[in-house]
Structure 1
Amino acid sequence: MKHLIPALATLLCVSFLSQANTVAAGKTILARGEVLATDASSAQQRNLKRRDTVFGVDRITTGEKSKAQFSMSDGGLIALKENSELNIASYEFDTATQQGSASIELIKGGLRSISGVIKKNGGAYNVKTPVGSIGIRGTHFELQLLGGDMYVAVWDGAIDLTLNDQSVVSLGSNEPFSFAHITSLGDVIKTTQAPAVFTQNIVAINSDNEANSESEQQSLAADNTSENNTDADTLLADVYVEQQFQALSNASLIDQIAQRQGILNYQATRFDVLSSLGEVSDFSMSMSVDFDNGTVPDGEISFNDAGGNWYAAYSGFIDLTKLDLAVTFASHNNNKAAGEIDAIFLNNADTITGDFSLSEISNPAVNASGAFRLEP
């Protein structure tokens, strides 16, 4: 027993020093499926869940049909796709001086990243990949490793990719191309269109066009509820796209969403709906958001036009500041229908705004679409 006590004291001391020297790199804002973090110094493993801290010594892996998203200490964002492996070699940020540096390595799979204050203030931010190292010039970019090849998309800003043969590939703003496919042999294929492996549709907005504040954008949406304004749906869609990009870059909103707890029910407070059959009436829309599990268990849309009642049920989950939604059932009168819904959080997650489209499966010319604003 006398020999055991000093040994335990030494073990506790080593453990304390190890934790004290571990730098918190960020927090988990979404962990869906199998998301595992391995401490590089101790080889200890832990399953990550929402609100868990990630450290500057972690190697993070996602399993089949799994995904993870992280809000980094400098306000940057990293989203990992399924079957991915990311090594956080170092991630240090001083909140007092607003300075820091970061080095991460994508070993397999894919990631999407929006750089934060470190890069904005001129700090070193390096991303290593099997085909080369990426230097960031303030950006929102995406990578996908597939069969020894790497696909690159720069949605905003620019990157310089130094390949293993030391040649440099520049993509993004002020460059002829924003997308590239680097083969396992080192061949570089630049394109003006996003490679098919990137399934999402991200619209990059030049910073010169971001003068409208969030409240001004909401005012634009609110002012276009007239059924007589045939351009209302186009204008609201444009406003929504800009809100989507700006909200995606809003780290504070992501933190606010991550801190929410419980289930909150939202109802439509403003809307603008157009139907191919004319006037629309009796619109209602609801959405239930489970912040603890990061899901949308259920939601419904209902309204009438000259052809009868439109109805859609949907569900989904929280994805950063947007909601990844899918229509699970839709109909128009007695006809089956299909549709899509896009939505994002605003105003500390007290508001959900977005748009939808519905159409009959057997007769797509019969359709309806609109924009909405939901609040508790």
Structure 2
Amino acid sequence: MNKLLVVFTTYVFFLPVLQASENAGKTIMAKGSVNAEMNQNIRELSRRSPIFTEDLVKTAINSATQLRMIDGGLLSIQQQSQLAINQYEFNQETHHGNVSMSLIKGGLRTITGSLNKASGNYTMQTPVASIGVRGTHYEAELLDGDLYLATWEGIIDIDVLAGTENQQFSLGPELPHKFAIVRVDGSVEFLLTVPAVFSEGHSHDLAENTVMTVRTDDILPTSDSLFIGDEIYYASALENKGAQTFFGNELQVSTLGLEPEISRSGEILFSELEQSSVVSSSGEISDLAISMNINFDTARVSNGQISFNDNGGEWFAAMDGIIEQGELDLSINFASHNNALASGEINGYLINQGHGVLGSFTLAELLNPEVNAGGSFLLNSHE
């Protein structure tokens, strides 16, 4: 009886803390030790864990996390980092809101969502500078007190807080500079090439983990909709960005409150590719083939394969996994691009009472993650 009372008391104490804060997003991936702290409460983050305003997200050494925010924004946080979610407000109907976050330690890569166009409504604070975001894909990294910046798309406006000169400047691919270092003393150094820290230092240690998987909800206006029975599925693929990192898509399933009904049995081969949308940083793809065996009696997925060609050679990936309540929990065991080793992620859902698989994947070379590919697919069985 006493044990039950203690558990109940703890629950009542902790619940108002979460309810007092607004939902800011959710965790797509967490590898290693990843926590969120709020009001002296610590939560371990895993896939699908919620993220709240006032959370302080922390990653340990050899750890990383990827977050999907409520406006569709994407955050890939590197190891030994701390990011405070000070404010994350978004109105689904008007697409208006405000974002304020603080990078306290470490580094991140981000693609902003719907809250990226109005001047002044999206800021990233750091100990040495404030970053104003105007629709962009950028990286920021703190190393030995200095702030390293790279802007891949759009514009960021930097207001230097360190030092006494109160400098202000902007970075972007269409501007004179897109790379810079803000030193701890407030001085600014503009670079013609990518800062070495992004390819050789902190970020490189987790290069195999930096392929971002995006869960595409109905807040993405460019999404294509697939209507299958009573279920609605959204798929969206970002256009090919050449040498820039492609952030692939994980498909969000909306079942209108219905649990998937699966009455199939035995082991069945899924290899009929009904629809697909795949892009590669190495150009046009061809000869796409996807297959997997699903055993509905043992809830196992085996002999899964993905293969296709681009201008750099053949991509190949082998995967297996299990079934959990209609979702395929898959792992890529081996991947390659031509003669280069690769890594990636794959996700899928059973649809149409188990007669189809709706999925998505991302792949990237281990030593050259800027060489990558990803997309979505709809796979049917032969029966």
* Same fold, judged at TM 0.5 (above): yes
Out of 57, 65, 69, the residue aligned to residue 66 of structure 2 is 69
Distance 1:188 1:295, change over 3 A: farther
Question: CA separation in 2, counterparts of 1:324 and 1:167?
Answer: 38
CA shift in 2, pair 1:159/1:271, >3 Å: closer
Report what 1:178 is aligned to. Answer: 178
The structure with the largest strand share of the pair is: 2
**Number of equivalent positions:** 279
The residue number in structure 2 matching 1:345 is 374
Contact kept in structure 1, 2:319 and 2:333, CA below 8 Å:
yes
Aligned match of 2:154: 157
The 10-residue stretch of structure 1 (123-132 or 284-293) with the greater mean CA deviation from structure 2: 284-293
Indicate if the aligned counterparts of 1:71 and 1:254 stay in contact, CA closer than 8 A: no
Structure 2 residue identity aligned to 1:112 = R
Is the 2:109–2:137 Cα contact (8 Å) retained in structure 1?
Answer: yes
Report the CA distance between 1:146 and its aligned residue.
0.6
Residues 16 and 155 of structure 1: CA distance in aligned 2, closer, same or farther (over 3 Å): same
**Correspondent of 1:287 among 289, 314, 318:** 318
| Residue identity matched to 1:35 | V
Cα pair 1:103 1:125 within 8 Å, conserved? yes
CA-CA distance at 1:323 after TM superposition: 2.3
Matched-pair contact (CA < 8 Å) for 2:28–2:48: yes
1:72-221 paired onto structure 2 within 5 Å: 72-120=69-117, 124-164=121-161, 165=164, 166-199=166-199
Superposed CA deviations along residues 217-243 of structure 1, whole A, max 9, x for unmatched, are xxxxxxxxxxxxxxxxxxxxxx99537
Q: Counterpart of 2:116 in 1: which secondary structure?
A: helix
Query: What is the alpha-carbon distance in structure 2 between the residues aligned to residue 149 and residue 349 of structure 1?
Result: 46
Distance verdict in 2 for CA 1:349–1:196, change over 3 Å: farther
Closer/same/farther in 2, CA of residues 262 and 312 from structure 1, 3 Å limit: farther
Q: Distance in 1 between matches of 2:104 and 2:25?
A: 19
Change (3 A) 1:113 1:36: same
Q: CA deviation at 1:272?
A: 6.0
Shift of 1:340: 8.9
Is residue 297 of structure 1 aligned with residue 337 of structure 2? no
Cα deviation for residue 99 of structure 1 reads 1.5
* Deviation of 1:343 (Å): 3.7
Q: For the structure 1 residues 173 and 340, does the alpha-carbon distance in structure 2 shift closer, same or farther, using more than 3 Å as the test?
A: closer
Q: Does 1:45 align with 2:33?
A: no
How far, CA to CA, are the matches of 2:15 and 2:363 in structure 1? 40
Q: Aligned equivalents of 2:242 and 2:113: distance in 1? A: 18
Q: Which amino acid aligns with 1:26?
A: G
Cα deviation for residue 96 of structure 1 reads 2.5
Contact 1:326 1:341 in 2 (8 A): no
Describe the superposition over 1:164-189 as per-residue Cα deviations: whole angstroms up to 9, x where unpaired.
14321211144210010111211101
Q: Counterpart of 1:197 in 2: which secondary structure?
A: helix
Aligned to 2:305: 266
Q: Residue type matched to 2:196 in 1?
A: A
Further displaced range: 157-166 or 65-74: 157-166
TM-score by length of 1: 0.62
What amino acid does structure 1 have at the position aligned with 2:149? V
The AA in structure 2 aligned to 1:322 is T
Aligned to 2:343, which of 316, 330, 342?
316
Q: Are the counterparts in 1 of residues 243 and 371 from structure 2 also a CA contact under 8 Å?
A: no
Aligned pair in 2 of structure 1 residues 293, 128: CA closer, same or farther (>3 Å)? farther
Name the SS of the counterpart of 1:136 in structure 2.
strand
| CA distance in structure 1 between the aligned counterparts of 2:362 and 2:74, rounded to whole angstroms | 14
* Kept after mapping to 1: 8 A contact 2:152/2:173: no
Per the TM alignment, residue 11 of structure 1 is displaced from its structure 2 partner at its CA by 7.4
Structure with the greater alpha carbon radius of gyration: 1
1:33 aligns with: 32
Q: Residue 100 of structure 1 contacts residue 123 of structure 1 at CA under 8 Å; is this kept in 2?
A: no
Give the secondary structure class of the aligned counterpart of 2:115. helix
Give the superposition deviation at 1:324: 3.8
For the residues of structure 2 that align with 1:103 and 1:46, how far apart are their CA atoms? Answer: 21
Letter of the aligned partner of 2:103 in structure 1? Answer: L
Does the Cα contact within 8 Å between 1:247 and 1:346 map onto a contact in 2? Answer: no
Q: Give the Cα separation in 1 of the matches to 2:366 and 2:131.
A: 34
